[in-house]
Every structure is written in structure tokens, then in C-alpha cells.
Amino acid sequence: MHTFTVEDFTRQPQRVLAEARQGEITVVTQSGKAVMLAVPLEQGAPIQTTLIELAAQLYDNEMISLERAARIAGLSYSETIDEFGRRGIATIRLTPEELERELAAFGP
């Protein structure tokens, strides 16, 4: 895996493409934080399926929001919730304190 700064990427975007063609994953960073991930795909890989899988993994690992997952997957918000539900990925995530407040709202 290689890392490029936004400045490197802006000056030489063809390097990221060349590395992807060689099977290398590239992370583009800005101020030391990852902002883009370039992942090489096998020729003929089903793009929609790949994007849904990527979105599901990133969301399940709490690396992106549900809204961003929907955009990556190319699905509507409700379609994403349904898809993640089929995969057993919870889309409502409450902290213990939030859960306690929600339960208290229903009374004894």
C-alpha cells in the first residue's frame, strides 16, 4: 500500500492509476488524514456489488456514516438500510446512555 499527499496526487494523478494497474492500493492524505482510497479491481469485477460490499465493510467498521455508505453503494438511504439489514449490519447504533434514555421514555 502506498500513500500520497493531496499535493502529490494533484501533481501526478497518473501515478495512482499506474499503481492500481499494478495491483497496489493507494491512500491519498490531506494534513495526515486519509481522504481517498484507490483500490484496484479485477478485470470484469461487478462494480455495483463491489461498491456495496465496500460501503458495508466501511460502515460496519464505523469508518463512514450511513449517508456516505449509501452514496458509495449508489443506493438510496432506505435501500442501504435494507441491504445492511440483510447482511446483519445494525444501522441504529445507540450508546448505552442513549439506549437507557430511550427505554426510560417508555416508562416502567
Question: Predicted confidence band at 2 (pLDDT cuts at 50, 70, 90)?
Answer: confident
Closest by CA position to 75, among listed 97, 54, 92, 104: 54
pLDDT at 10: 95
Helices (H), 26-95: 47-60, 66-73, 77-86
Mean pLDDT value across the chain:
91
18-70 confidence digits (pLDDT tens):
998 898 989 999 999 999 989 888 888 789 999 999 999 999 999 899 999 99
